[in-house]
Amino acid sequence: MKHINDWHLKVNVHYFKPFNVKETGPIDKALSKFNKKIKEIGLMPEVQERMHFTSKSETRRKEKRFGVYRQRKNNKLEAH
């Protein structure tokens, strides 16, 4: 039986060992606190951005495209 997790990786469920909920309580709380902190500081978008190298020209092109999109969006809002 295969399970697809959040990272879209296929993991064999039989590799996981059964666990006792009482023993994993503090771990679950610590993990949820950790995930909350990561979301607060916005670490994941930066990590995903740094996964692949982007050249300066590519970032400039991306910013220019976003600027054009923003201007069109503002113009549409002003017209109405």
Domain ranges of the chain: 2-79
**pLDDT digits 0-9 by tens, 2-60:** 555 555 555 555 555 666 666 667 888 888 888 899 888 888 888 888 898 989 999 99
Q: What are the DSSP calls for 16-71, one per residue?
A: SPP--HHHHHHHHHHHHHHHHHHHHHTHHHHHHHHTS---HHHHHHHHHHHHHHHH
- Residue 23: what pLDDT? 67
Q: What is the pTM of this model?
A: 0.41
